[in-house]
Chains A and B, each alone.
Chain A
Amino acid sequence: MILDGKCPKGPIETSWDRHRFETKLVNPANKRKYKVLVVGTGLAGGAAAATLGELGYQVEAFCYQDSARRAHSIAAQGGINAAKNYPNDGDSIYRLFYDTIKGGDFRAREADVWRLAQVSNNIIDQCVAQGVPFARDYAGYLDNRSFGGAQVSRTFYARGQTGQQLLLGAYSALSRQVKAGTVKLYVRREMLDLVVVDGVARGITCRNLCTGEIESYWGDAVVLATGGYVNVFYLSTNAMGCSVTATWKAAKKGAFFANPCYTQIHPTCIPQTGEHQSKLTLMSESLRNDGRCWVPKKKEDCDKFPNDIAEEDRDYYLERKYPSFGNLAPRDIASRAAKEQCDDDRGVGPGKRGVYLDFSTAINRVGEDTIAERYGNLFEMYEKITDENGYKRPMRIYPAPHYSMGGLWVDYNCMSNVPGLFVLGEANFSVHGANRLGASALMQGLADGYFVIPYTIAGYLATVKPGAIKADHAEFKKSAEDVKAEINKMLSINGKKTPAQLHRELGKIMWNNVGMARSRESLNEALKVIPQIREEFWNNVKITGSGEEFNQQLENAGRLADFLEFGELLAKDALVREESCGGHFRTEHQYEDGEAKRDDENFCYVAAWEFKGAGKEPELHKEPLKFDNVHLAVRSYK
C-alpha cells in the first residue's frame, strides 16, 4: 500500500496556517462531551493533556511512574531549539526547517518539519509564561547556546536541566487542570493493550501497578505519547521503565510502525564499566561547545595519563575530519567517528571503548568558573559516576543508544492509520528523519502537545459521536481477558533465567549486530538469534510472585516480551533499507572516506510495517518522500 501523509498542498510557508483554518472545529459547548485518553505524561503527553483539558475536553492521563513529573523527558539536559534569532546570527524558520531536514538526512516529511520550525517560537514564549527559569543575560534577555548540526545559536536552556524545567512547566499546567477537574490523572498504570472496535481506537487496557488489577478505559480518541524504544539495546540512556510496550501493543492492533531502524546513538555518554551495569548515563551534547574530542595518535599512548600526552601526539579527530563543524558535528557522525577511533585500537579507559573530551583549552580561555557555570552539574555527575575530576583531566566518553527517530506511523494530523489513535513526541516517527539534531526532541514533544494536537484532534472528533462506545463493550472485556491470559502465561513458566538476564542477552545481540554499524551478515545473524531468545523467554523465564500485587519482575518481563518481538522488526527494517542514512549505517553502503551513502533513487520513502501476527512476516507499506523546498544533497559537515 502507498501511504498518504495528507500534507497540505501549496506553498509550505502558509501550509500550517491554511491547514488550521481548514480543519473542523468542535464547538466549545460540545468539547466537554468528548473524552480523550492521553498515555504518557512527558513533554508531549503532559503538554497535550494540559492543553486539551484547558480547551474543555474531558481528559484522562496515564503514566507508569508514581507522578506525572517523572517521565524521562526530565533527563534532557542541553536545551530546546527555536528560530527566534535573538542573537541576530542569521536564524529563521526556514533555516531551522532546513537544518532539521538536512540533519535528518532527508528522510523526514517537509510539511511536518516546517510546522515544527514555525511553532518553535511559541514554545519558548509559553514556557516563559509558565515560569520556566531559562538562562538570561545580565540585561534580562534570554540567552542562547550552540548545538550540534547548526551554525547558529538557537538553543534555549536552563543550566544543564532544560528537560526537567520544561517538563515541570508542562506538569504544572497539567496539575492546574487536575485541580480544575478537566484532567483525571492515573499514575502507576501501564497500558497493556489498545482497544479497537470496528477498526477505530476506542480505549485502552491498563494494569494498575500497585494492585495488579486489569482496568479498562474508554475514550473518543486515544493519544499515545509513550516515548522511545532504545531500551531494546538493554543498556541505553533511557530510564529503566522506558519501553516499546504501548506502541507495540498498538502496532499489534493494526497501527503501522515506521522506520524502526532509525535509532540514535548519542556520542557523549559515560563509558560502561562492567557487566553489572544497568544503564548508561548521557552528558549533554552542549559539552561539545567547549570540549574537544581526541584520542592518542599512537596506540602505545592509550594507557598513559592523558595530561602527559603531548599536544602533537593527540588526534583531534572531529576537527581534523570536519573542519567547519568540528566538535559540533551531528550526533550520528560524531558517534561513528568515536567508534572508528576505538576500532583502530586508539580507544582509552577500561576496555578501550572510550575517547577523551577535553576542556583544558576552554578553561584556559574563559576560566574554570565560567565552565562550571555552564556545565557544573554535568562535571559533578561525571565525577560521581567515574570518580574523576573533569576539570583536572579530560573526561572519557563513548556513544550509547539514546533516542529513536522511528515510531508509529502518523499522518500530518499526528493520527496513525487507525482512526482515533494519535501519536505524539518520540513515540511517532514524524520529524527527525533518520537522525535527530540536539535540542530538537524537547521542541518536538512540546510542539506536538501544546500546538499541534489541540487543533488536529478537533478535526477528527468533529466527525465522531461522543461516547458512542464505552467500556462495557465486548471488545474491552476481550482485551482485558487477553491481557490477563498473557500475564498468567508468563507467570506459569517458572523457568531458570530472570528477565534481566534475557534482556541483557537481547541487548548484546542488538548492540553488536544492529547498533552503530550494520551489515547484511550481522543483521541476518540477529534475525536468527532474536527468535531464539524469544523462544527461550517463553520457555525459561522465571518471575516470582503473582499478578495481583506490586510486581516489578512481572513489569520487566512484560516489557521484555515486547522488545523480543519488536527487536526482530527493527533488524528486519535495517536489512531491507539497503542504504546508509543518518543513524542507520550499513557498512556495505559508504563512500571511500567512510561517510554514509544514501540511495535516494530507491529508498527515499518512509517504511511503515504492518504486523501480521506473531512469527509471521510483517508487510511493508511505503510513503514516498517528496522534497519541494530543499534540494536533496549529500549531507556534508566538512
Chain B
Amino acid sequence: MKLKLHVWRQKGPNAPGKMETYDADHVSPDQSFLEMLDEVNEVLVKEGKDPIAFDHDCREGICGMCSQVINGVPHGGQDRTTVCQLHMRSFKDGDEIFIEPWKARAFPVIKDLAVDRGAYDRIIQAGGYTSCHTGGVSDGNAILIGKDAADYAMDAAECIGCGACAASCPNSSAMLFTSAKVAQLAVLPQGAVEAKRRVNAMLEEAQACGFGNCTNHYECQAACPKGINVKFIAKLNREYIKALLP
C-alpha cells in the first residue's frame, strides 16, 4: 500500500522544527510501523538526505525506547501497543499519517522524534527503590506475600517508562508513571517501610522536573501500552495523605 507521512523534523534541541511530508510507497501490511520508517529512511539516505531520527531498540514492546505520537495519539492508539509493535495492517492504502515526538516540557526534543526522558530517571532516583544492600537479606520465602498483593504489585511494575502517560496528558503530568512505582512498593512488605518518604520524594522530584499535576483526565491509561490502571494514582493519593499524618 501507499501512504503519505507528515513527520516532525527538528535538527537539534534549540533549532526550530516543522512538519515535512514523505511518501511511503511499498508498505507491506506485515511490516511494523518502525520497519515502515526504516524503509523511508533507506530511501532518504540513498538520496543523500538526512533520515528521520527516532528512538527504538528492542522492537518487541518492552524496552520503552520507542516514542512517537501518531495521528495525535502516543504510540498510535492501538490498545496496549507500543509503536514498535504497531503493524501496518492497522492502516489502509492512501492513509495520511502524522508523526510527532512526545510533547511535554520535561521531555525536550533531541532531534526529530527523539526526546530526552532523563526526567523519569530522576523521579526513580528520588525514591523508586527499597533501600536494601546487596547481600544480607532474608530468604525469599521468609516474608510471605499474598497472591493478591504480588499480582497487584506486578500489575503496577509492568510500566516500561516510555513516557506516553505524560505525553498524552493535557497537564503533562507524570502521575501514572510515578504512581505505578509508588503503588508497587507500597503494597509489598519490603517496600512499605519507606512508603512515606518515597511518595513525598518522588512527587517533589516530578514537580521539579516540570511535570504538571493530575486532574483526572485518564488520557494516560488510554495511551499506556502496558495498560497501567489509573487506580494506582488513587493509591498514590492515599499514600500521600498517609504520609502527611504523623
Contact = CB atoms under 8 A, between A and B. Distances in A.
Contacts of A482: none
A135 interface: yes
B120 A67 contact: yes
A54 B125 contact: no
A278 B147 contact: no
B58 to A, nearest CB: 4
A171 interface: yes
B190 A130 contact: yes
A51 B128 CA distance: 17
Nearest to B146: A140
A70 B64 contact: yes
A51 B129 contact: no
Contact of B121 (A69, A140, A282): A69
B146 to A, nearest CB: 5
B172 interface: no
A178 B30 CA distance: 42
A75 B62 contact: yes
B134 to A, nearest CB: 4
Given A69-B121, A122-B135, A142-B141, A381 B42 contact: no
B138 A129 contact: yes
A544 B140 contact: no
A27 interface: no
Interface stretch (B46-54, B92-100, B212-220, B238-246): B46-54
A558 interface: no
B230 to A, nearest CB: 19
Interface string A535-566: 00000001111000110110000000000000
A137 B141 CA distance: 11
Interface stretch (B1-9, B31-39, B69-77): B31-39
B59 interface: yes
Interface string A207-224: 000100000000000000
B25 to A, nearest CB: 13
A324 interface: no
Contact of A66 (B61, B81, B117, B157): B117
Contacts, number: 221
A374 to B, nearest CB: 13
B153 A175 contact: no
Interface in A152-189: 158-159, 161, 164-165, 168, 171-173, 175-176, 178-179, 185, 187
A50 B117 contact: no
Nearest to B158: A161
Given A75-B58, A137-B147, A210-B110, A67 B141 contact: no
Interface in A207-253: 210, 237, 239-241
Contacts of A47: 134
A98 interface: no
Interface stretch (A269-277, A363-371, A598-606): A269-277
A137 B64 CA distance: 29
Contacts of A164: 62, 158, 160
A86 B141 contact: yes
Contact of B134 (A75, A126, A133, A239): A126
A6 interface: no
A454 B136 CA distance: 14
B168 interface: no
Nearest to A123: B140
B87 A129 contact: no
Interface residues of B, number: 77
Contact of A542 (B45, B124, B125): B45
- B contacts with A: majority SS: loop
A443 interface: no
B196 to A, nearest CB: 16
A210 B184 CA distance: 33
Contact of B42 (A86, A128, A281, A500): A500
Contact of A187 (B45, B118, B125, B184): B118
Nearest to A386: B30
Contacts of B137: 125-126, 128-129
A75 B110 contact: no
Interface string B105-122: 000001100101110110
Contacts of A385: 32, 85, 87
B234 interface: no
Contacts of B14: none
B62 A544 contact: no
B74 to A, nearest CB: 16
Interface string A178-206: 11000001010000000000000000000
A140 B128 CA distance: 24
B30 A126 contact: no
Given A126-B135, A239-B57, A381-B85, A68 B45 contact: no
B235 interface: no
B65 interface: yes
Given A66-B117, A131-B185, A544 B48 contact: yes
Interface in A90-141: 122, 124-141
A84 B140 contact: yes
B197 interface: no
A175 B46 contact: no
Given A66-B116, A385-B85, A549 B146 contact: no
B57 A72 contact: yes
A501 interface: yes
Interface string A353-396: 00000000000000000000000000011001101000000000
Given A67-B120, A136-B147, A274-B30, A498 B62 contact: no
Contacts of A134: 140, 150
A451 interface: yes
B63 A72 contact: yes
A426 B48 CA distance: 37
Contacts of A139: 144
A29 B138 CA distance: 28
A278 B38 contact: yes
Nearest to A350: B30
The residue among B11, B87, B130 with the most chain A CB atoms within 10 A of its own CB is B130
The 8 A-B residue pairs whose C-beta atoms are closest, nearest first, are A140-B144, A172-B129, A129-B137, A133-B153, A133-B154, A128-B140, A136-B150, A550-B111
Given A122-B135, A542-B48, 12 more contacts: A54-B133, A66-B118, A67-B161, A70-B65, A172-B129, A176-B125, A276-B30, A276-B38, A279-B59, A381-B61, A385-B32, A549-B12
24 contacts: A66-B114, A66-B116, A67-B161, A70-B64, A75-B60, A125-B138, A129-B130, A131-B130, A135-B154, A136-B150, A138-B146, A140-B147, A176-B125, A237-B60, A278-B32, A278-B35, A278-B59, A279-B60, A385-B87, A450-B134, A451-B135, A545-B50, A550-B111, A552-B51
